Amino acid sequence: MQEPNLQHLIVGDPAAHTGAPRRMAYWDWPCAAGDGRHVVVCVHGLSRQGRDFDTLARALSERSRVVAVDVAGRGRSDWLADPMRYQVPTYAADLAALLTHLRAQTPGAVIDWVGTSMGGLIGMAVAAQPALAPRRLVLNDVGPAIQWAALQRISTYLGLNPSFDSEQAAMDYLASISTGFGPHTPEQWRALSLPLLRGREGRWWLHYDPAIAVPLKALTGMADQTAARQLARDGEAALWGLYDAITAPTLLLRGQQSDLLTPATAAEMGRRGPKARCVVFEGVGHAPTLVADDQVAAIRDFLWSD
């Protein structure tokens, strides 16, 4: 079975927690046919990492090079010294550096973007900049309007830093906080879960810096909830501004039972900005894992169409 190559790129400010030059990791799936000039950059959700895209990458690598990123603080990427820098502007700057690197590495490369949840928000920030914009953009269960209840739900488990005495116990825990992903076979769930675990001293831990939760908890935990919701609304307005600036053809994927992307927001995204075409998957909430055949096919057909 094909496996990706683990690569690292030195990125700039903010600093790594070690004080050394900060590295961002990415998983590089070479193109099986052709010259690899078509590159698909895949960016994961808030508490996930780049190996989430293994199934999609194997399918796309028949005709495309796939680069699946570990965002700062996750997977094999360095942790940040300042937890409050775990926010979209930092991630967008890191990904801008990666896009510049990929274009220098392969002059004339055609770059597309697949972003799940947080990865979609980063994609909107990048796609709104003409000099960086991908050719095509896939937003997986995310839009400019994010439901406050969904943020509160995520903040209840993000950053708790649990440890487990077995892989199975860790996988069971991940399943308990990931019911929105929809049904998976045991084999699929194992493949999605194992890259999220790190063994240490006979126990198993999650792959990310627990401090990635600091900015979210600072918002949802504000004593003045009215002020917190206003900050969230201000952020939403800024995201709509980014979305409206996007000109790349855009595909929006939505889990029918998603608590983060509502039907109303999806419909509004179809009316303004790039006028995204929406595909809805039944029996799934937040967020489709891009493992099921119909989910993979929707992306493949969109990215490979003339």
Token readout for 196 is 């999220």
Provide the pLDDT confidence category of residue 101 given band limits of 50, 70 and 90. Answer: very high
Taking Cα atoms as reference points, which of 49, 58, 19, 77 lies closest to residue 197? 49
Provide the pLDDT confidence category of residue 36 given band limits of 50, 70 and 90. Answer: confident
Q: Which is higher by pLDDT, 127 or 202?
A: 127
pLDDT of the residue at 280: 98
**H/E element, 219:** helix 214-220
Rg (Cα) of the chain, in Å, rounded? 18
Token readout for 243 is 């979305």
Written as one letter, the residue type at 147 is: Q
pTM of the model: 0.96
Q: Are 68 and 83 in contact (CB under 8 A)?
A: no
The string of DSSP letters for 128-191 reads TSTTT--SSEEEES--S---HHHHHHHHTTTT---EESSHHHHHHHHHHT-GGG----HHHHHH
Average pLDDT over residues 198-204: 91
| Domain range summary for the chain, segments of one domain joined by + | 5-304
Instruction: Name the CATH superfamily housing domain 5-304.
Output: Alpha/Beta hydrolase fold, catalytic domain (3.40.50.1820)
pLDDT of the residue at 221: 86
Q: Which is higher by pLDDT, 66 or 1?
A: 66
Q: Are 36 and 30 in contact (CB under 8 A)?
A: yes
Sheet holding 277-281, edge to edge: 5-10, 23-29, 65-70, 38-43, 110-116, 137-140, 250-255, 277-281
Q: How far apart are CA 281 and CA 15, in angstroms?
A: 40
Measure the CA angle with vertex 239, ends 264 and 174; round to 5°: 75
